[in-house]
A and B are shown apart, each in its own frame.
Chain A
């Protein structure tokens, strides 16, 4: 750690870990409900569990990204954060808004729009919170000595993510228009600007871990984020096939979303090539595993599994089935959860001054969580494909099909248990480091 104010990152990471734990709990509630055990129905019906599960995901990832930015920006700009106090206020209000939203979901206080369930009054607080965050980051960059490509790409991702939240707040009477703009937020976040954030963090980690020249890494970063936007922006069309928009989207969405895996392939090849090129062997091997892991798993989960159902002729049958859940899980895990895990694994020894990364528990955490998540993806895939054939192609009633595929949710829960053990070990590693302290400053 080079700057005292970087310590604030730790608390954002801690909030991330806490919310992730809760997210997993609600995931289990849904898994059991799908299997036929809905004992909690009266207190936590499926739609509540679902809204909590997905919203916690968004909030813990955002908290992780914010923590990453609070660590990376001072180091890249060579400047302390302009206000640490404001950063802590931002952290606390973020947690408060999150908690109020999550509790509200248990009392029918929400807006039933997938992923954007946060009710409108809280939306304004989210906007205020994110503006504070961006204010701190931008002012730090402005005052800083350096403006590196890595920090600019990361900041650009964060600014665009904030801007793209706004179309989701417009009220439409027409469901089609509502959906149309909801995807401006959801799709352009996860298949657009969040990839900028991921690219920025990945580039920072590769510079630190491999020791490859910054100019080389940042050049390829531009190429990758270029590919992301060229394919991803018009790739939004794959959400417009069957919601009441015109036929042109079938062609444009089909072609460009078929190109989307290229950006992820680029990311994977880039990470591997830089690793091989690097002469420096950073002792923090766990951070390296997560860094290479995120690049590779995001290609499989977001790239390949996305491609599997993105063409209009396939999507006609898979749209709105568990096939989407299959892709969603590995994509979010590979691209976004793992990059947050990577930056946490890299920063913890630097924040605390305790170089405890050489541990079997860390390695086990990496493999168990990944194997568990791949198993879950397979279970969702089998259930989804079976659902598509039985319900959509053969024409068996929805409820009958759900009964037939219950068994796959047993497998899902087994794999999810493995995954949870992995994540639990990761969190144990996180806690082992303790809290950050100023003594860590001298050690770097």
Chain B
């Protein structure tokens, strides 16, 4: 039967081995995968400014981006392809709550400059290689997430 010291070895050994593998994989992801898949060369100051605005307003508190965030408002990974620049800017710059089908967004009343930055950020997001996410719809093919 398993002794307490064997159980302790199992815990410590298992933890060290899996953590070492995790660190190695993380290193590979950081140095080889992410720069290519996210097209890091396209991370312009405007895109970074867009990320700041995205975070300052906690957009993730309602929307999802790359599937992460809250489930109150639409997924925005491919929104640049789906809706285009004009629609996104209209929603951001609206002085009254943007409310398609009645569900209200905060009225950000953004300046055109800020809205351009958010659009640049969302455009950059849309070009990341996400292993096929969001999945293509199986039926309504006229309304694909990425046209």
Contact = CB atoms under 8 A, between A and B. Distances in A.
A399 B72 CA distance: 9
B68 interface: yes
17 contacts: A47-B106, A108-B56, A110-B56, A112-B57, A177-B30, A219-B2, A219-B3, A219-B4, A220-B7, A226-B7, A230-B15, A234-B25, A316-B133, A320-B69, A395-B143, A398-B75, A399-B74
Interface in A164-200: 173-180
Interface in B66-115: 66-75, 97, 100-104, 106
A394 B61 contact: no
Contacts, number: 217
A365 interface: no
A174 B100 CA distance: 30
Given A174-B34, A316-B133, A392-B135, 10 more contacts: A47-B72, A108-B58, A215-B4, A242-B130, A242-B131, A242-B132, A243-B67, A244-B33, A249-B29, A402-B103
Q: Which 10 A-B pairs have the closest CB atoms?
A: A47-B61, A395-B140, A395-B137, A320-B67, A112-B58, A242-B133, A226-B11, A222-B7, A399-B101, A319-B67
Contacts of B123: none
A177 B35 CA distance: 10
Interface in A210-255: 215, 218-220, 222-223, 225-227, 229-230, 233-234, 236-237, 240-250, 252
B146 interface: no
Interface residues of A, number: 77
Contacts of B144: 395
B133 A234 contact: no
B70 A47 contact: yes
Nearest to A226: B11
Contacts of B2: 219, 223
A304 B65 CA distance: 26
Nearest to A324: B71
B34 A245 contact: yes
Given A117-B58, A394-B139, A174 B43 contact: yes
Nearest to A237: B25
A46 B72 contact: yes
A174 B37 contact: no
A322 interface: yes
A174 B40 contact: yes
A219 to B, nearest CB: 4
B130 A50 contact: no
Nearest to A323: B71
Nearest to B97: A41
Contacts of A76: none
B11 A223 contact: yes
A303 to B, nearest CB: 18
Interface in A321-362: 321-322, 324-325
Contacts of B132: 242, 316
Interface string A35-79: 010100100011110110000000000000000000000000000
